[in-house]
Chains A and B, each alone.
Chain A
Amino acid sequence: MKTVMIKTHEAWLATLMAGFMSKTENKQVLFDFSNILFRHFNWLENEIIELEESYSYERDAIPIKVEKLSEMLNNIIHRLDEIDLQLLSSPDKNLDERISSDIKYMRDVLHTMKDEDITAFSMERKFPGIDLTEEATDALTLFLFEETYKEYELIMIYNYLKAHSSDAYLNRIFQILIDESFFHLKRFGDMGAKMGILAVPRVVMKELYQVEDVVQFLKDGINEELAAKEECKKLSEAVAKDSPELEKFFDFINHQENYHISLMTDALAYFAKKNND
Chain B
Amino acid sequence: MSMDARLIEHMMNPKNYGTLEAADAQGIGKNPDNGEKVAIYIRVGKDETDPYIEDMKFQAIGCTTTVVAGSMLTEEAIGLNLNGVKNLVEATMNLLDKLPSEDAACSEMVALAIKASVDTYEERRSDPEYPVITYKVQNSCVPKEENMQKEEN
A contact residues vs B (CB 8 Å cutoff): 58, 60-61, 65, 121, 123, 125, 138, 141-142, 145-146, 149, 197-199, 202-203, 205, 207-208, 220
Contacts and interface: CB of A to CB of B under 8 A. Distances in A.
Contacts of B12: 121, 123, 197-199
Contact of A142 (B1, B17, B19): B1
B116 to A, nearest CB: 16
Nearest to B35: A220
Contacts of A146: 63-64
Residues of B contacting A: mostly? mixed
Residues of A contacting B: mostly? loop
Contact count band on B = 20 to 34
6 contacts: A123-B9, A146-B64, A197-B12, A199-B12, A202-B17, A202-B67
A196 to B, nearest CB: 9
Given A60-B18, A141-B8, A141-B11, 11 more contacts: A58-B19, A121-B12, A138-B1, A138-B3, A142-B1, A149-B64, A202-B17, A203-B17, A205-B39, A205-B59, A208-B61
B5 A123 contact: yes
B31 to A, nearest CB: 14
Interface string B40-71: 00000000000000000001110110010000
Contact of A141 (B3, B19, B35, B39): B3
Given A141-B3, A142-B1, A205 B61 contact: yes
Contacts of A60: 18
